[in-house]
């Protein structure tokens, strides 16, 4: 019905003109005392012809509309398959669309090239900056003093920020190097734990993890990044107690700490980009990027990440690692 009304509006001028012409002829016939039956018969024939033409054109209008709807649903790949123009106005519109499409593709190509160059530059810079960090780490490890331990902790944070920047630029890249395989979850967790072990020792925090035999379908590098970010926050905001890592039989990974917790008003927004919350503002060191990247990476891996927290008692982050069974023929 909506399309019929649109068609009527589109041809409203022609319909009005036909009605006006019909009235003119009827008036002229009346003035010349033409036989009424002849006038009615002629009017009936005109009406029949008009109705046939009207519905034939309406049917053609519907077909062209469906064709345009199909192209609209696949506009990015069907720009060159636009319908043949029926009028000079449609011909002009199609020319404009093709011109805009050509310009859009050119700009996208330039943007992708510039973005690729930027990613290559920053990736190279981040990898290069890791070399002096490693050298400084080796120098500081040569002597075990309180000052050196503090400097090592700060160097570790610098390296983490550099890695976060690398993951940040890679995550939104169209060429993100996801490699989905079945991995041992225990190996991934232990790699993250080994990396943060010095930080746990420095702050005298406990870590409880009994191991697991579960395997998961995921990308090892990105899941490791998510776990490391959660552990990083746990160490940062925990002064006493420690962290407990558990894995349930239904592949729910939970990382719980006994830190300062997250306020109830901040909890719904912790995965938003740039959101630091009360703890971040008080600490003045939070960037609001870590958990945002965790959520984006988890979404790309089809893992669901959630958080629960009680202020003053700690926080618990859960990652649902279940995956639908894949059938092969």
- Do 255 and 317 meet the contact criterion of CB atoms below 8 Å apart? yes
Residue-level pLDDT at 152: 87
Q: What is the mean pLDDT of residues 220-232?
A: 93
* Separation in Å, CA 280 to CA 8, 32, 65, 277, 290: 61, 94, 54, 5, 12
* Torsion angles phi and psi, residue 16, rounded to 5: -65, -45
Over residues 207-218, the pLDDT tens digits come to 999 989 999 999
Q: What is the mean pLDDT of residues 282-304?
A: 81
Q: Name the token pair of 58.
A: 């309406």
Over residues 128-167, the pLDDT tens digits come to 888 888 888 888 888 888 888 888 888 888 888 888 888 8
Task: Note the pTM of the prediction, 2 decimals.
Answer: 0.65
Is pLDDT at 227 greater than 90 in this prediction?
A: yes
Question: Would you place residue 295 in the very low, low, confident or very high pLDDT band (cuts 50, 70, 90)?
Answer: very high
């Amino acid at each position: 019905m909506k399309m019929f009304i649109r068609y009527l509006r589109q041809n409203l001028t022609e319909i009005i003109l036909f009605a006006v012409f019909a009235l003119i002829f009827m008036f002229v016939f009346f003035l010349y005392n033409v036989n009424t039956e002849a006038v009615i018969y002629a009017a009936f024939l005109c009406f029949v012809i008009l109705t046939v033409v009207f519905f034939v054109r309406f049917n053609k209008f519907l077909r062209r509309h469906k064709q345009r709807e199909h192209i609209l649903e696949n506009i990015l790949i069907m720009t060159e398959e636009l319908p043949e123009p029926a009028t000079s106005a449609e011909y002009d519109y199609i020319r404009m669309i093709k011109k805009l499409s050509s310009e859009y593709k050119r700009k996208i190509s330039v943007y992708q090239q510039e973005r690729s160059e930027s990613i290559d530059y920053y990736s190279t810079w981040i990898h290069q900056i890791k070399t002096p960090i490693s050298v400084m780490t080796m120098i500081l490890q040569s002597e075990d003093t309180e000052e050196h331990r503090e400097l090592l902790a700060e160097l570790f944070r610098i390296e983490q920020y550099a890695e976060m920047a690398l993951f940040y630029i890679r995550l939104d890249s169209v060429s993100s190097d996801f490699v989905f395989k079945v991995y041992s979850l225990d190996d991934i967790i232990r790699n993250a734990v080994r990396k943060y072990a010095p930080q746990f020792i420095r702050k005298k925090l406990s870590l409880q993890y009994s191991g697991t035999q579960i395997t998961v379908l995921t990308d090892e590098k990105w899941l490791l990044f998510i776990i490391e970010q959660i552990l990083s926050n746990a160490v940062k905001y925990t002064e006493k107690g420690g962290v407990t890592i558990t894995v349930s039989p239904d592949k729910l990974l939970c990382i719980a700490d006994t830190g300062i917790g997250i306020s109830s008003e901040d909890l719904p927004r912790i995965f938003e980009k740039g959101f630091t919350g009360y703890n971040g503002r008080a600490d003045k060191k939070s960037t609001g990027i870590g958990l945002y990247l965790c959520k984006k990476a988890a979404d790309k891996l089809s893992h669901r990440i959630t958080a629960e927290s009680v202020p003053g008692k700690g926080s618990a982050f859960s990652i649902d690692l279940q995956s639908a069974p894949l059938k092969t023929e």
